[in-house]
């Protein structure tokens, strides 16, 4: 079977940044370490006044097409995953295709376009759709572009305000890919949950603490479902485990839970037994409460062991590099975790072809999905081509007052009563220019 997977990746960050420990924490009266150590975040990216989900997505897609030498006629499909859409009918992919048609000869008339929604999981689902379309032989030898793009903003004063972010990732899905091949095996954990939602409103209604528990429960189910279609997972089989990362502290919790699950009844559990005992088994306890108490105690001990720390530092910590610098990018979040892992492998000059990643995606509402990806010949050149470090360095550092203005600019219903000037100069990129006669958003390419 011909390999199908990710052939190229491009990232676009919002061009502004908010320093969480330095600017946000003092205004909130918080200890800066709540951000750096607790949540695990240093900065959040924000969109400048002329940026939105369309400009960020189109800029990422243009970067990808230029680097891969592609024209519109080469692309068979454009899918956008977002939970920040501003239009209930016209998909964001049509706005993005319209942008791209301004700068390329030819058009995307022939391309199938769509928009995927399942909170942060939608990007992974859009990759699945493209994979299935290629596997079904309906692609006429053409690749798909999958774009994940979000402005992850929360209402001012919501606890989620600490975990905002904005950016986009464009990925080329093709046969014989140069970055990773996707596995056919997948595991799901899916339930109707009311933890994070936006019923006809821009900013989410969030039960933050519950959303953390829902994330962990769906992940555990997805892991069990994945194991039901594959052999039991062996820790040694995976070089990295990129998770959906709303904030790195969330992944710290998920990784510990996954590790405990995976090592049960293995030599790893035995080798820890002298130090922290064996894992509690439910049938050894009178009731569920006592069992859960024992599990919590075991987890507290487990996270301090050298064995666990070594695995975490090798397979998980390196996936959090970009997230710490940009915050939550919703649909893009697991995809920048994958890129962070690949960048770590590059830094370490790892002999990486044929190694495997265990990728764990999640969307509120709620569903988790787990699958494996195998690193392909060519990954190195693709990762070396990314210019995300330069983009991060060039971000404008917002003061508190400027942050308040930027939040208002991007809030649909806020009435500032004055113009807010842009903080950066557009340079060879798509920009938002205003509204048209049917209230559509309009864009231009700024040379």
Is residue 316 a contact residue for ligand CAA (CB under 6 A)? no
Residue range at the interface with ligand CAA (CB under 6 A); choices 154-162, 381-389, 403-411, 437-445: 154-162
Catalytic residue among 10, 120, 221, 407: 120
> What is the nearest approach in angstroms of ligand CAA to the Cβ of residue 207?
8
DSSP string, 287-338: SHHHHHHHHHHHHHHHTTSHHHHHHHHHHTGGGGHHHHHH---GGGHHHHHH
In contact, 35 and 3? CB cutoff 8 Å: no
Is residue 362 a contact residue for ligand CAA (CB under 6 A)? yes
CA distance 325 to 209: 23
According to CB under 6 A, which one of 33, 300, 313, 389 is a site residue for ligand CAA? Answer: 33
Is residue 38 a contact residue for ligand CAA (CB under 6 A)? yes
Alpha carbon 129 to chain centroid, angstroms:
17
Q: The tokens 């340079």 sit on which residue?
A: 427
User: Angle at Cα 297 formed by Cα 292 and Cα 298, nearest 5°?
Assistant: 95
Is 83 considered catalytic here?
A: yes
Residue 293 or 387 with smaller CB distance to ligand CAA: 293
Is 244 considered catalytic here?
A: yes
Q: What is the DSSP letter of 243?
A: B
Using DSSP, state whether 167 is helix, strand or coil: strand
Residue 17 or 244 with smaller CB distance to ligand CAA: 244
Residue 209 or 264 with smaller CB distance to ligand CAA: 209
Is residue 113 a contact residue for ligand CAA (CB under 6 A)? no
> What is the nearest approach in angstroms of ligand CAA to the Cβ of residue 335?
13
Going by C-alpha positions, the residue among 342, 340, 335, 347 that lies closest to residue 378 is 342
CA distance 144 to 112: 9
According to CB under 6 A, which one of 94, 211, 340, 361 is a site residue for ligand CAA? Answer: 211
According to CB under 6 A, which one of 86, 87, 203, 208 is a site residue for ligand CAA? Answer: 208
Residue range at the interface with ligand CAA (CB under 6 A); choices 7-15, 105-113, 204-212, 281-289: 204-212
Going by C-alpha positions, the residue among 167, 179, 181 that lies closest to residue 384 is 179
> What is the nearest approach in angstroms of ligand CAA to the Cβ of residue 358?
18
φ, ψ for residue 327 (rounded to 5)?
85, -155
Residues in Cβ contact with 331 at an 8 Å cutoff, skipping those fewer than 6 apart: 81, 82, 83, 119, 120, 121, 122, 123, 148, 149, 150
Is residue 209 a contact residue for ligand CAA (CB under 6 A)? yes
What share of residues in the chain are helix, strand, coil (percent, to 5)?
Answer: 45, 20, 35
CA distance 245 to 252: 10
> What is the nearest approach in angstroms of ligand CAA to the Cβ of residue 331?
9
> What is the nearest approach in angstroms of ligand CAA to the Cβ of residue 364?
4
Q: The tokens 């929360």 sit on which residue?
A: 154
Catalytic residue among 10, 51, 83, 429: 83
Is residue 206 a contact residue for ligand CAA (CB under 6 A)? yes
Residue 8 or 246 with smaller CB distance to ligand CAA: 246
> What is the nearest approach in angstroms of ligand CAA to the Cβ of residue 122?
11
Tokens for 378, please give them. 């060519």
Q: Tell me the chain's radius of gyration from C-alpha atoms.
A: 22
Other Cβ atoms less than 10 A from the Cβ of 364: the count is: 26
In contact, 20 and 41? CB cutoff 8 Å: yes
Site for ligand CAA in 40-99 (CB under 6 A): none
Catalytic residue among 10, 51, 115, 244: 244
Residue nearest to ligand CAA (CB): 38
How many residues form the binding site for ligand CAA (CB under 6 A)?
26
Site for ligand CAA in 233-252 (CB under 6 A): 244, 246, 249-250
Is residue 328 a contact residue for ligand CAA (CB under 6 A)? yes
In contact, 266 and 236? CB cutoff 8 Å: no
φ, ψ for residue 342 (rounded to 5)?
-65, -35
CA distance 364 to 193: 8
> What is the nearest approach in angstroms of ligand CAA to the Cβ of residue 148?
12
φ, ψ for residue 188 (rounded to 5)?
-125, 145
Residue range at the interface with ligand CAA (CB under 6 A); choices 36-44, 102-110, 185-193, 395-403: 36-44
> What is the nearest approach in angstroms of ligand CAA to the Cβ of residue 209?
5
Residues that bind ligand CAA (CB under 6 A): 31, 33-34, 37-39, 120, 159-160, 162-163, 196, 206, 208-209, 211-212, 215, 244, 246, 249-250, 328, 330, 362, 364
Catalytic positions, written as ranges: 83, 120, 244
């Amino acid at each position: 079977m011909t390999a199908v997977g990710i052939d190229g990746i491009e990232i676009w960050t919002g061009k502004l940044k908010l320093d969480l420990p330095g600017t946000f924490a003092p205004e909130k009266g918080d200890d800066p370490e709540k951000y750096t150590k607790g949540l695990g975040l240093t900065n959040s990216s924000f969109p400048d006044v002329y940026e939105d989900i369309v400009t960020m997505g189109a800029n990422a897609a243009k970067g990808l097409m230029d680097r891969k030498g592609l024209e519109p006629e080469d692309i068979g499909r454009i899918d956008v995953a977002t939970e920040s859409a501003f239009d209930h009918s016209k998909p964001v992919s049509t706005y993005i295709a319209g942008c791209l048609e301004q700068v390329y000869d030819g058009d995307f008339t022939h391309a199938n376009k769509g928009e995927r929604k399942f909170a942060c999981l939608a990007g992974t689902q859009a990759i699945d759709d493209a994979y299935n379309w290629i596997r079904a032989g309906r692609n006429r030898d053409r690749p798909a572009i999958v774009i994940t793009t979000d402005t992850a903003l929360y209402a001012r004063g919501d606890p989620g305000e600490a975990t905002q972010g904005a950016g986009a990732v464009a990925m080329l899905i093709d046969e014989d890919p140069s970055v990773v091949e996707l596995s056919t095996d997948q595991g799901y954990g899916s339930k109707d949950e009311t933890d994070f939602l936006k019923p006809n409103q821009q900013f989410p209604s969030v039960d933050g603490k519950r959303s953390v528990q829902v994330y962990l429960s769906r992940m555990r189910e997805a892991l069990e479902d994945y194991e039901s279609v594959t052999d039991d997972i062996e820790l040694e089989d995976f070089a990295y485990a990129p998770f959906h990362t709303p904030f790195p502290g969330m992944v710290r919790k998920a990784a510990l839970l996954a590790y405990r699950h995976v090592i049960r009844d293995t030599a790893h559990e035995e080798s820890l037994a002298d130090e922290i005992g064996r894992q509690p088994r439910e049938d050894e306890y009178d009731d569920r409460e006592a069992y859960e108490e024992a599990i919590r105690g075991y987890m507290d001990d487990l996270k301090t062991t050298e064995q666990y720390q070594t695995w975490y530092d090798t397979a998980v910590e390196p996936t959090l590099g970009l997230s710490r610098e940009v915050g939550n990018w919703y649909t893009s979040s697991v995809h920048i975790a994958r890129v962070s892992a690949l960048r770590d492998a590059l830094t370490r000059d790892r002999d990486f072809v044929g190694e495997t990643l265990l990728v764990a995606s999640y969307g509120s509402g709620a569903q988790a999905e787990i699958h494996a990806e195998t690193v392909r010949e060519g990954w190195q050149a693709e990762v070396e081509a990314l210019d995300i470090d330069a983009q991060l360095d060039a971000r404008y550092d917002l003061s508190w007052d400027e942050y308040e203005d930027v939040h208002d600019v991007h809030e649909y219903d806020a009435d500032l009563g004055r113009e807010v000037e842009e903080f950066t100069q557009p340079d060879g990129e798509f920009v938002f220019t205003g509204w048209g006669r049917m209230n559509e958003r309009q864009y231009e390419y700024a040379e």
